[in-house]
């Protein structure tokens, strides 16, 4: 086989591998797996006895959303922020978590399961609750299910992320931390979430909590 053929073969295999782990992260052989209710958890660390409570808290947060559904984000992959995370999160390595459209599998960055926390490498705004992140990511699935698969490009980031944070009930920045960043004119990615959450909460208060009106193209 010629060198160019080997190169093409290797590239093809790499694409197949990338496609496989994109839609089936379990192909990376997570050492721990457990079903809790209708959720399947894959983890790099042993799952603590408190895991059902974390999922129950996430479900409780989601029930506050008018567009919630029980059918999205029920495969959750918990990483230690190492090689599995970097393979899966190649486009967003600094995120707390992400969800792949269509498969709706949730992949989470470095987690402390016993403390219900998830971390990024950010010195400011680098900690959130795991239960809140699960609720946030599942809400992205609800948005796609209700407003279309291309909602991630149809709607602006402040609206999508802001609504997900409102449902999650928390964020990575306190009012004081956000004010300090802006006083120093620091551009921080968490500010989009912070201001988006404030803006979404204000609009929902004004429209009586109508989520469909919030996402109406005429109201953006």
Q: Which residues contact 4 (CB under 8 A, 6 or more apart)?
A: none
Query: What was the pLDDT predicted at 7?
Result: 44
Which range among 7-11, 68-72, 211-215 has the greatest average pLDDT?
211-215
Question: What's the pTM?
Answer: 0.88
Calculate mean pLDDT across residues 157-178.
96
Query: What was the pLDDT predicted at 131?
Result: 97
Residue 88 has pLDDT above 80, yes or no: yes
Residue 200 has pLDDT above 50, yes or no: yes
Residue 17 has pLDDT above 50, yes or no: no
Query: What was the pLDDT predicted at 6?
Result: 52
Across the chain, the runs of DSSP E, i.e. the strands, are 32-36, 39-43, 75-78, 97-99, 106-108, 111-112, 117-119, 127-129
Give, as one character, the DSSP assignment of residue 100.
Answer: -
Calculate mean pLDDT across residues 110-129.
95
Query: What was the pLDDT predicted at 9?
Result: 43
**pLDDT tens digit sequence for 203-218:** 999 999 999 999 997 4
Q: Which residue has the higher pLDDT, 101 or 111?
A: 111
How far apart are the C-alpha atoms of 118 and 106, rounded to whole Å? Answer: 13
Dihedral angle computed from the Cα positions of residues 72, 47, 37 and 87, in that order, rounded to the nearest 10 degrees: 20
Query: What was the pLDDT predicted at 51?
Result: 96
- Nearest Cα to Cα of residue 18 among 116, 74, 68, 89: 89
Calculate mean pLDDT across residues 109-135.
95
Q: Which of 34-38, 46-50, 89-93 has the lowest mean pLDDT?
A: 89-93
Residue 71 has pLDDT above 50, yes or no: yes
Confidence bin at 23 (pLDDT 50/70/90):
low
């Amino acid at each position: 086989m010629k060198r160019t053929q080997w190169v093409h073969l290797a590239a093809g295999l790499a694409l197949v591998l990338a496609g496989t782990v994109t839609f089936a992260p379990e192909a990376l052989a997570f050492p721990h797996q457990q079903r809790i209710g209708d959720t399947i958890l894959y983890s790099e660390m042993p799952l603590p006895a408190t895991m059902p409570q974390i999922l129950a808290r996430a479900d409780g947060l989601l029930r506050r959303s008018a567009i919630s559904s029980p059918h999205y984000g029920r495969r959750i992959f918990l990483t230690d922020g190492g090689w599995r995370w970097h393979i899966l999160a190649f486009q967003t390595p600094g995120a707390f978590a992400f969800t792949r459209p269509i498969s709706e599998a949730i992949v989470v960055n470095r987690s402390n399961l016993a403390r219900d926390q998830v971390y990024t490498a950010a010195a400011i705004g680098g900690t959130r609750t795991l239960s809140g992140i699960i609720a946030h990511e599942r809400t992205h699935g609800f948005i796609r299910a209700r407003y279309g698969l291309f909602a991630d490009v149809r709607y602006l980031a402040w609206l999508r992320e802001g609504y997900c944070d409102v449902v999650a009930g928390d964020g990575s920045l306190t009012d004081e931390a956000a004010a300090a960043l802006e006083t120093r004119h620091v551009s921080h990615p968490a500010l989009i979430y912070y201001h988006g959450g404030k803006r979404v909460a204000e609009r929902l208060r004004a429209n009586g909590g109508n989520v469909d009106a919030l996402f109406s193209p005429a109201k953006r």
